[in-house]
């Protein structure tokens, strides 16, 4: 089996402009519509939308690789970096902090030059302990072939299937020099460049681990340039995670190609991007709903709501699983049953919550949101 990086003219990719033109126009149209809508929402709403989108981007990019991050830790870390959370007493996860720093650098500093040193810095951010799981890996340097060829493999031991084999390590310095030179001049539409860069970098597979996350960060960097803003209002990684099986299937098919034509990959990438921008509508709606709720109920007729009430309301606005009972309120707020009842009564009185029709031990409460 020959891989695309073994072809004679690699990496002189080709694609069918006519086949991609309508999709590229649709992406541009949707980007413009989204940014236009956000311009009318005001700075506070844009900040909240950026926080929600970046949180999803970081969490889902790691989820694609099978790594589950704590959403609260990610959101808190991003909020601190954006100056939206001044609470320095909250515990910090060094691993989460590193991933957040990489993604913020890619998007907030999207116009800065992508260099070898910058990529090494991102890689170090992803693996602050120098380990991937139980395995020690080379940090901030290109991989070697000391433990054998870099392969993407699935299946049980003895019945493995090799999906892809990356270029040998001795090629990496020249491969990355060529990639970075291309990214510096970026002589194609930055939306197309995002798809090309994603495919190109992940095919080179420059590091021992973290190649997928860094490839997606590079793509986000190009997309931020395409948007013309350093804020993020849609998450490509979140959409890729929803279509994870197809994502890997498309990558493998293009990497096993006998030609340098990557039209199929770019077509899928643009279609996925359209779906990501479409889905951002739900994120914006949730942000607006949350903001309007706090604007209406952030203060009660008797003064400011207490910390317990704010904490529970925040959990409900974030998407609380199941029904809220008095007992659940007490556990969430870490208070007594009687205190929970008093808090709930205030929230009912001001119209922030309503009681279910069921009575007795089945009594539950829900938010009054529009």
Evaluate whether 96 touches 69 at the Cβ level (below 8 Å). yes
- Report whether pLDDT(9) > 50: yes
Q: Quote the pTM value.
A: 0.82
- Rounded CA-CA distance 90/93 in Å is 10
Rounded Cα distance between 52 and 35, Å, is 16
Q: In sequence order, which residues have a C-beta less than 8 Å from that of residue 142 and are 6 or more positions away?
A: 169, 172, 173, 176, 206, 207
Query: How confident is the model over 119-176, as pLDDT tens digits?
Result: 999 999 999 888 887 788 889 899 998 877 887 776 666 677 778 889 999 999 999 9
For 210-266, write each residue's pLDDT tens digit. Answer: 999 999 999 999 999 998 888 888 999 999 999 999 999 999 999 999 999 999 999
Q: Which domains does the chain have, with CATH numbers?
A: 4-289 (1.10.3290.10), 299-367 (1.10.10.10)
Cα torsion for 127, 131, 132, 134, to the nearest 10°? -150
* CB-based burial label for 334 (10 Å; 0-12, 13-18, 19+): exposed
Question: ∠ CA(168), CA(173), CA(179), 5° rounding?
Answer: 100
């Amino acid at each position: 089996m020959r891989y695309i990086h073994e072809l004679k003219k690699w990496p002189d990719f080709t694609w069918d402009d006519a086949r991609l033109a309508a999709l590229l126009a649709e992406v541009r149209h949707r980007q413009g519509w989204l940014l236009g809508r956000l311009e009318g929402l005001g700075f506070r709403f844009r900040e909240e939308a950026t926080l929600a989108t970046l949180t999803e981007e970081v969490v889902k990019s790691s989820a694609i690789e099978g790594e589950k991050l704590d959403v609260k830790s990610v959101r808190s870390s991003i909020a601190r970096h954006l100056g939206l959370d001044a609470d320095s007493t909250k515990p910090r996860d060094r691993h989460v902090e590193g991933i957040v720093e990489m993604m913020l650098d890619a998007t907030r500093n999207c116009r800065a030059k992508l260099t070898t040193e910058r990529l090494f810095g991102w890689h170090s951010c992803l693996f602050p302990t120098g380990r991937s799981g139980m395995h020690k890996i080379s940090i901030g340097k290109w991989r070697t072939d000391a433990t054998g060829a870099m392969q993407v493999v699935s299946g049980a031991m003895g019945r493995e299937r090799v999906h892809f084999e990356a270029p040998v390590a001795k090629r990496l310095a020249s491969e990355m020099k060529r990639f970075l030179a291309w990214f510096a001049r970026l002589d194609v539409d930055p939306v197309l460049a995002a798809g090309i860069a994603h495919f190109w970098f992940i095919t080179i597979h420059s590091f021992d681990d973290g190649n997928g996350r860094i490839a997606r960060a590079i793509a986000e960097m190009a997309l931020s340039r395409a948007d013309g803003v350093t804020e993020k209002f849609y998450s490509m990684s979140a959409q890729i995670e929803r279509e994870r099986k197809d994502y890997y299937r498309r990558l493998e098919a293009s990497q096993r190609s006998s030609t340098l034509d990557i039209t199929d990959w770019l077509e899928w990438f643009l279609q996925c991007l359209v779906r990501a921008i479409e889905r951002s509508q739900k994120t914006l709606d949730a942000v607006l709903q949350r903001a309007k709720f706090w604007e209406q109920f952030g203060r009660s007729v008797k003064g400011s709501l207490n910390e317990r009430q704010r904490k529970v309301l925040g959990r409900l606005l974030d998407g609380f699983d199941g029904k809220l009972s008095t007992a659940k309120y007490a556990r969430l707020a870490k208070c007594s049953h009687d205190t929970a009842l008093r808090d709930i009564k205030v929230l009912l009185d001001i119209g922030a919550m309503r009681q279910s029709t069921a009575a007795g031990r089945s009594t539950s409460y829900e938010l009054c949101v529009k």
